[in-house]
A and B are shown apart, each in its own frame.
Chain A
Amino acid sequence: MAQTAFAPWDDPDERPLIEFRGVSKRFGDFTAIDDLTLNIFEREFFALLGPSGCGKTTMMRMLAGFESVTEGHIWLGGQDIIDIPPNKRPVNMMFQNYALFPHLSIWENIAFGLKREGRPKDEIAARVDEMLRLTRLGRFAKRKPHQISGGQRQRVALARSLAKAPKLLLLDEPLGALDRKLREETQFELMDIQEKTGTTFVIVTHDQEEAMTVASRIAVMDEGRLVQVATPDVIYEAPASVYVADFIGDVNIVEGRATPEGAGLRIDWAEGQAPIAARSDSAFARGQSCHFAIRPEKVTIDTERPDRPNAFRGKVIDIAYLGNISTYHVELAGGQMIKAQMVNARRLANRQITWDDEVWVGFTETAGVVLEG
């Protein structure tokens, strides 16, 4: 059975759960958020991605109600929430340091929000037990936060913020404190829980891999503005700007001048070098300066000239061996460095390319993207 793709952002009839309308936030002279407009839909797993200081945390804190809005409006489920205090919003937050109450047991931590709603005791107990099951914490219910591990604390924080069944769950760098292996496991666990509960998640992270793994859509931010909002594959394959291309994953960027030629473009990038043949959806004027961005895994490396539209000679300067893959840093004639990635299907001993080898790098016309400016 084919599943219909989850893409409410493409459906013009779909009403967004959250709407930022012309939202700005200024701290004195400093503009943290600059006239930002954004829609987030129900059941989405939405990632705010950017370097520290880009305004992603401020945006999340405005959703939670800890930060006021200088200009503009935020709508949540058809209600303007900018004047609603944090304790009255149907929004819960999972804090970066988890912010578990050290004087309360795990059980009491999870029950904390439910008790404030004044629900009957047995109902609270049933809900807490359900949350403990969901996060596999049943055995630790009676312990205090300082008596469990970091990964378990992370799950308690998640259970506590989900207990009230919020319309929207905010996650502030939720996996930042975990080691790599646990982080990867937990990413899938998060997605699983998000799917089970059907809650809308907004996650703040500076880890692009994490955003790519968990999110249905990613908003890349820079200096208080949205640079691109799209699905992970679009962000990766068709970045809207050099900034996005550079921020997400590894990329080769070649500066040059575009010339339309037939169905594609010709990019002159260095004296005495053959131009790069590329394709682009956007139109370029003759001689317009551009950046050609191509991912290392889309560049092949061979000892002989490959039969590809683009092939350039170079010398291997450096090899980064990562076990499953190797990245070759190849210097082309004229000094341009190109990274090419290859899967290490063979064992290391049989590797035929090594330092200082003369090699050919190659890629197809559609492998890269041409960006303005």
Chain B
Amino acid sequence: MRRVVLIAVPYLWLLALFLVPFVIVLKISLSDIALARPPYLPQLDLSAGWQGVREFLSGLDLENFVFLTTDDLYWKAYLSSLRIALVSTLLTLLVGYPIAYGMARAAREWRPTLLMLVILPFWTSFLIRVYAWMGILSTEGVLNNVLLFLGVIDEPLQIMNTNTAVYIGIVYTYLPFMILPIYAALEKMDDSLLEAAEDLGCSRLQAFWLVTWPLSRNGIVAGCFLVFIPTIGEFVIPSLLGGSDTLMIGKVLWEEFFSNRDWPVASAVAVVLLAILIVPIILFQRNEQKAREAEG
């Protein structure tokens, strides 16, 4: 009995906080827009009994999903989101790996401090940190002023409101999610493995590619998914740092919901987004499980 209760807790949690809201979103995505409150039809009228349920069900259709395929805005936004997420993940890996590597190689007494420094930004509001980047990247911002002062450039660079700014924002924000799993993998690695590789004829660089890199692979994969998955649906960074040509599905969803007040189409967008994300989420879980088994 106790076991049942224990197992029931997480399931009830998932049911109440994930499955029920999802079913509501799914239902709205199958409804039609209406000038009402809430702004969609049909509504379930339980007072009409069985007849009411039947009418309610007959009012649902896949119209909104069909609509998503007729306007190329949507699939372009999905593709563009995937591309931005992919590029940002690679950039985050490029920046994050050397940092994680440096941390794992640092003297033991320094590691907790370095770890702290990586986590420290989380103590400030995410929104404020993104606004700070606006101050840095804008035409009259810190970066341009410094570069102008140093004479590196003659005219201010237009970074703000471009995809570049979005990439900078995403890499900055998600960097800890990349660093931490890679650091965890590297830190576990035994230094004598590198000595053994050198002893057997590897140069330092070969030893890195043949030993360090494959042994940190689980950390790399985990880090990439942790960045890639939330980046696809990212809304705040592209809307604050990106320009009019930055097309991301999170922004489209927001506009459908709040500007057009078209809840059904917005919900359809969200359902498709979730369907797209399921694949990487499953792959991520599988990687985690494999890592646990290898350690077991």
A residues sitting closer than 8 Å to B (CB atoms) are 64-66, 85-87, 91-93, 95-97, 99-103, 112-113, 116-117, 146, 160-161, 164
- Chain B residues with Cβ below 8 Å from A103 are 214-215, 217
Report if B288 contacts A (CB, 8 A): no
Taking a contact as CB atoms closer than 8 A, the residue among B195, B202, B217 that contacts A116 in the complex is: B202
**A97/B190 contact (C-beta < 8 A), A87-B202, A87-B203 known:** yes
Shortest beta-carbon distance, B218 to chain A, in Å? 10
Contact call B215/A160, Cβ cutoff below 8 A:
no
Shortest beta-carbon distance, B237 to chain A, in Å? 36
Chain B residue with the shortest CB-CB distance to A89:
B199
Chain A residue with the shortest CB-CB distance to B195:
A66
Taking a contact as CB atoms closer than 8 A, the residue among B193, B201, B206 that contacts A101 in the complex is: B193
Shortest beta-carbon distance, A167 to chain B, in Å? 14
**A87/B199 contact (C-beta < 8 A), A99-B190, A101-B193 known:** yes
**A92/B190 contact (C-beta < 8 A), A102-B215, A116-B206 known:** no
Complex-state Cα separation, A329 to B201, whole angstroms: 54
Contact call B200/A92, Cβ cutoff below 8 A:
yes
Shortest beta-carbon distance, A68 to chain B, in Å? 14
Chain A residue with the shortest CB-CB distance to B192:
A99
Can you name 23 A-B residue pairings with CB atoms under 8 Å? A64-B199, A65-B199, A86-B195, A86-B199, A87-B200, A95-B195, A95-B196, A96-B192, A97-B190, A97-B192, A99-B190, A99-B192, A99-B193, A99-B196, A101-B197, A103-B214, A112-B200, A112-B210, A116-B202, A146-B294, A160-B200, A161-B199, A161-B200
Taking a contact as CB atoms closer than 8 A, the residue among A86, A95, A146 that contacts B192 in the complex is: A95
Taking a contact as CB atoms closer than 8 A, the residue among B193, B195, B200, B203 that contacts A113 in the complex is: B200
Query: B193, B196, B294 — which one has the most chain A CB atoms within 10 A of its CB?
Result: B196
Q: Count CB-based A-B contacts (< 8 Å).
A: 59
- Chain B residues with Cβ below 8 Å from A146 are 294
Complex-state Cα separation, A116 to B197, whole angstroms: 10
Contact call A113/B215, Cβ cutoff below 8 A:
no
Complex-state Cα separation, A113 to B199, whole angstroms: 8
Query: A65, A102, A160, A161 — which one has the most chain B CB atoms within 10 A of its CB?
Result: A102
Report if B211 contacts A (CB, 8 A): yes
Contact call B192/A113, Cβ cutoff below 8 A:
no
**A164/B201 contact (C-beta < 8 A), A86-B195, A95-B192 known:** yes
Shortest beta-carbon distance, A139 to chain B, in Å? 22
Complex-state Cα separation, A85 to B206, whole angstroms: 14
Number of interface residues of B (CB under 8 A): 19
Contact call A116/B196, Cβ cutoff below 8 A:
no
- Chain B residues with Cβ below 8 Å from A66 are 195, 198
Shortest beta-carbon distance, A220 to chain B, in Å? 26
B residues sitting closer than 8 Å to A (CB atoms) are 190, 192-193, 195-203, 206, 210-211, 214-215, 217, 294
- Chain B residues with Cβ below 8 Å from A99 are 190, 192-193, 195-196
- Chain A residues with Cβ below 8 Å from B199 are 64-65, 86-87, 91-93, 161
Shortest beta-carbon distance, B204 to chain A, in Å? 9
Complex-state Cα separation, A338 to B188, whole angstroms: 51
Complex-state Cα separation, A91 to B202, whole angstroms: 13
Complex-state Cα separation, A66 to B198, whole angstroms: 9
Complex-state Cα separation, A164 to B202, whole angstroms: 13
Complex-state Cα separation, A97 to B211, whole angstroms: 16
Shortest beta-carbon distance, A64 to chain B, in Å? 6
Query: B200, B201, B203 — which one has the most chain A CB atoms within 10 A of its CB?
Result: B200
- Chain A residues with Cβ below 8 Å from B196 are 93, 95, 99-101
Query: A87, A93, A160 — which one has the most chain B CB atoms within 10 A of its CB?
Result: A87
Chain A residue with the shortest CB-CB distance to B206:
A116
Complex-state Cα separation, A100 to B197, whole angstroms: 10
Shortest beta-carbon distance, B107 to chain A, in Å? 15
Shortest beta-carbon distance, B217 to chain A, in Å? 8
Contact call B197/A112, Cβ cutoff below 8 A:
yes
Complex-state Cα separation, A113 to B294, whole angstroms: 24
Other than A86-B198, A112-B200, give 10 A-B pairs with Cβ distance below 8 A: A66-B195, A86-B195, A87-B202, A91-B199, A100-B196, A101-B193, A101-B197, A112-B210, A146-B294, A164-B201
Shortest beta-carbon distance, B288 to chain A, in Å? 17
Shortest beta-carbon distance, B65 to chain A, in Å? 44
- Chain A residues with Cβ below 8 Å from B201 are 87, 113, 116-117, 164
- Chain B residues with Cβ below 8 Å from A116 are 200-202, 206
Complex-state Cα separation, A117 to B202, whole angstroms: 9
Chain B residue with the shortest CB-CB distance to A64:
B199
Complex-state Cα separation, A100 to B37, whole angstroms: 67
- Chain B residues with Cβ below 8 Å from A93 are 195-196, 199
Complex-state Cα separation, A86 to B203, whole angstroms: 9
Complex-state Cα separation, A64 to B93, whole angstroms: 35
Complex-state Cα separation, A112 to B294, whole angstroms: 21
Complex-state Cα separation, A102 to B210, whole angstroms: 12
- Chain B residues with Cβ below 8 Å from A97 are 190, 192
Contact call B211/A101, Cβ cutoff below 8 A:
yes
Query: A96, A116, A164 — which one has the most chain B CB atoms within 10 A of its CB?
Result: A116
Complex-state Cα separation, A261 to B37, whole angstroms: 121
Chain B residue with the shortest CB-CB distance to A146:
B294
- Chain B residues with Cβ below 8 Å from A113 are 200-201
- Chain B residues with Cβ below 8 Å from A87 are 198-203
Complex-state Cα separation, A305 to B217, whole angstroms: 76
Shortest beta-carbon distance, A84 to chain B, in Å? 12
5 closest A-B pairs by beta carbon, nearest first, are: A113-B200, A116-B201, A99-B196, A99-B192, A86-B198
Chain B residue with the shortest CB-CB distance to A95:
B192
Complex-state Cα separation, A87 to B197, whole angstroms: 8
Chain B residue with the shortest CB-CB distance to A93:
B199
Shortest beta-carbon distance, B190 to chain A, in Å? 7
Shortest beta-carbon distance, A78 to chain B, in Å? 21
Complex-state Cα separation, A86 to B194, whole angstroms: 11
Complex-state Cα separation, A100 to B214, whole angstroms: 14
- Chain A residues with Cβ below 8 Å from B294 are 102, 146
